[in-house]
């Protein structure tokens, strides 16, 4: 029997890497997608193999349709897709909306929104019973920013994550009777490299005292929530969006 695969986009670092390491517990082989950092992806693969799991790294930029097709073709070579974590995402440097270039906005939505749509499309084609698949699960990684709006920082990012929340609800209903559950999570401030990539390497240290739990979350705390949503323990949960934010932005 072909092995089942979980694909984690942006699985080389941060929340995605933590999700890859946890995904072994579901018994799937793990497809570790990355865009630039091959060494980091290879390190995640090696850790999974050291734990007795199966994994492989796949380079590909989720904003490119050709790359997404190649990522899923590589998964097909290894087995049968059973789950997708739409995790790859970017922020940009702090800016007001009246300072944002068209290039910045296009890139933000191309990676965070179009990338998640393209990957979901390919996953549904493989997992939906409508297409002869065996069902599966999708988890979309949104952000507490979708509720906060991120004024004077990155409204574009927050709006892209709002789109992810809406995609989660709509896609969940679209495939609810096709064997696929679709859920989302909204992390709060999580201690990963993403803050430095947005020009704010000390963001976590600066904000921690103002967070409800007086600390940031860890990537593994988010990964555990992702795994629950992917697992059979969540068999009647679809279209749900779980705040994993230590109490940040839990109100609508
Ligand atoms: P991170 O540490 O910056 O890691 C980003 C990951 O995504 C890396 O594996 C990177 O690959 C990959 N990636 C970036 N652009 C990509 C693209 N175009 N195609 C494929 N892969 C790409 O980020 P993180 O903090 O773990 O965030 C993961 C997700 O959680 C994102 O969607 C983010 O918006 C969301 N989130 C994070 C926080 C937080 O505080 N950290 C809060 C809320 C939501 P390379 O290693 O090759 O660069």
Query: Does residue 90 contact residue 108 with C-beta atoms inside 8 Å?
Result: yes
pLDDT tens string 1-44: 679 999 999 999 999 999 999 999 899 999 999 999 999 999 99
Q: Which residue, by CA, sits nearest to atom 11 of ligand 1?
A: 34
pLDDT tens string 49-76: 999 999 999 999 999 999 999 999 999 9
Mean pLDDT of the chain: 97
Ligand 1, residues 19, 86, 88: which to mutate, most atoms within 8 A of Cβ?
Answer: 88
Please report the pLDDT score of residue 252 as a whole number. Answer: 79
Query: Does residue 124 contact residue 175 with C-beta atoms inside 8 Å?
Result: yes
CB neighbour list of residue 176: distance below 8 Å, 6 or more residues apart: 238, 239
Residues with CB under 6 A from ligand 1: 9-10, 12-16, 33-37, 40, 61-63, 87-90, 111, 141, 143, 187, 189-190, 192-194, 197
Domains of the chain: residue spans and CATH: 4-244 (3.40.50.720)
Query: What is this structure's pTM?
Result: 0.98
The per-residue pLDDT string of the chain (252 residues; one tens digit each, 9 = 90 and over) reads 679 999 999 999 999 999 999 999 899 999 999 999 999 999 999 999 999 999 999 999 999 999 999 999 999 999 999 999 999 999 999 999 999 999 999 999 999 999 999 999 999 999 999 999 999 999 999 999 999 999 999 999 999 999 999 999 999 999 999 999 999 999 999 999 999 999 999 999 999 999 999 999 999 999 999 999 999 999 999 999 999 999 999 987
Residue 36, number of CB atoms within 10 A of its CB = 11
CB neighbour list of residue 224: distance below 8 Å, 6 or more residues apart: 22
Please report the pLDDT score of residue 159 as a whole number. Answer: 98
For 126, the token pair is 């493989």
């Amino acid at each position: 029997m072909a092995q089942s695969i979980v694909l984690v986009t942006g699985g080389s670092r941060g929340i995605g890497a933590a999700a890859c390491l946890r995904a072994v517990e579901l018994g799937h082989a793990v497809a570790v997608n990355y865009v630039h950092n091959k060494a980091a992806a290879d390190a995640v693969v090696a850790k999974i193999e050291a734990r007795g799991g199966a994994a492989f790294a796949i380079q590909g930029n989720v904003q490119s349709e050709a790359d997404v097709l190649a990522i899923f073709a590589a998964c097909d070579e290894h087995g049968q897709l059973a789950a997708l974590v739409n995790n790859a995402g970017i922020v940009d440097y702090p800016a007001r909306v009246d300072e944002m270039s068209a290039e910045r906005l296009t890139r933000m939505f191309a990676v965070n929104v179009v990338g998640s749509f393209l990957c979901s499309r390919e996953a549904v084609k493989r997992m939906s019973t409508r297409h002869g698949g065996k069902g599966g699960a999708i988890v979309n990684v949104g952000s507490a920013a979708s509720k906060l709006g991120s004024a004077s920082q990155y409204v574009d990012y927050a709006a892209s994550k709002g789109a992810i929340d809406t995609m989660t609800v709509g896609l969940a209903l679209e495939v609810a009777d096709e064997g696929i559950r679709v859920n989302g999570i909204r992390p709060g401030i999580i201690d990963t490299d993403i803050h430095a990539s947005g020009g704010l390497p000390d963001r976590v240290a600066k904000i921690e005292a103002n967070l409800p739990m007086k600390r940031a979350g860890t990537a593994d705390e988010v990964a555990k929530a992702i795994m629950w949503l992917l697992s059979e323990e969540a068999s009647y949960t679809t279209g749900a969006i779980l705040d994993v934010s230590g109490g940040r932005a839990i109100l609508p």
